[in-house]
Amino acid sequence: MADKKSLGKEFSKGLIAENPVLRLVLGTCPTLAISTSVENSIGMGIAASFVLVCSNIVISALRKVIPSKVRIPAFVVIIAAFVSIVQMFVKAFAPALDASLGIYLPLIVVNCIILGRAEAFASKNPVLASTIDGIGMGVGFTFAISLMASIREFLGAGNLSLKVLGFGTNLTDIFNLGETDVLTAIGLEPILIFILAPGGFFCYGLLMACANKLAEMKGKPKAELKSCDSCPLATSCAIKIEGKECAK
């Protein structure tokens, strides 16, 4: 029972307590760039989650074999292998999604969520726990980026995609509006800035503020940048920030 509770906690922490986007402030680049469309966000979330889970499993299984001095290059090679698999699969079966995600699909290789979990968790824990951690973090990332995309797409375009990998529909089709968007149909106008970069930062800030408020209500610390000390790769990094060296 204790093991089940522990595994349940490893899964749930990625959803709320340690959500990689809203609490750990990781993966902000794809979050801001891809979250203009729910369909693209779900596609990115599924791709990143697959890489995260598979890389966690392999890294955990090889944690006692990989030499400490070359662990980061080894992690990158493992992650890159799974990203290549995902990219070929998407190109073959979802070319439209591949075109929409563009450079951000291969850039999953350097996604700080995946590399961070490899260093902070998978390299130190058994395979099962690392698998659950990867699933939880992947679901948390997908939820956060999709929530942000829902707000931006609806307010910015007046529509909301309900598609997953090309299958599904959207709000205008559900209400038979044709070329008219939902906001225009009810006498409002889309706020175009929401699908632009400033709208992305604004929406991200609002969601983080809500996450911080919920954390404060539960007596947990707010999400904030704490220089190098909070970085899972600090021990292998030699960058100096605020006059403090991460590692020698």
Give, for all 248 residues of the chain, the pLDDT tens digit: 446 667 788 888 888 888 899 988 888 888 999 999 999 999 999 999 999 999 999 999 999 999 989 999 999 999 999 999 999 999 998 898 899 888 899 999 988 899 999 999 999 999 999 999 999 999 999 999 999 999 999 999 888 888 777 677 888 888 787 778 888 888 888 898 999 989 999 999 999 988 888 878 877 776 665 545 555 555 555 444 444 444 43
Query: Contact, 108 vs 33, CB < 8 A?
Result: no
- CA separation for the pair 105, 148 (Å, rounded): 19
Dist. CA 122–CA 236, nearest whole Å: 16
Which secondary structure element, helix H or strand E, spans residue 198, and what is its range? helix 197-217
Q: What is the DSSP letter of 242?
A: T
**Which tokens hold the place of 177?**
């509006």
d(CA 132, CA 8): 8
- pLDDT value at residue 96: 87
* AA identity, residue 209: A
Q: What is the pLDDT of residue 237?
A: 56
Q: How far is residue 10's CA from residue 3's CA, in Å, rounded to a whole number?
A: 11
**Contact at 8 Å (CB) between 39 and 163?**
yes
- pLDDT for 216 equals 80
* pLDDT on residue 10: 80
Half-sphere exposure of 75 (CA within 13 A, CB side): 26
Give the model's pLDDT for residue 228. 53
Rounded Cα distance between 109 and 83, Å, is 6
Burial class (CB in 10 A: 0-12, 13-18, 19+), 40: buried
CA 58 – CA 43 distance, rounded (Å): 23
What is the structure's pLDDT at 7? 77
Q: What is residue 73's predicted lDDT score, i.e. its pLDDT?
A: 92
Residue 2, helix vs strand vs coil: helix
Say if residues 19 and 211 touch (Cβ distance below 8 Å). yes
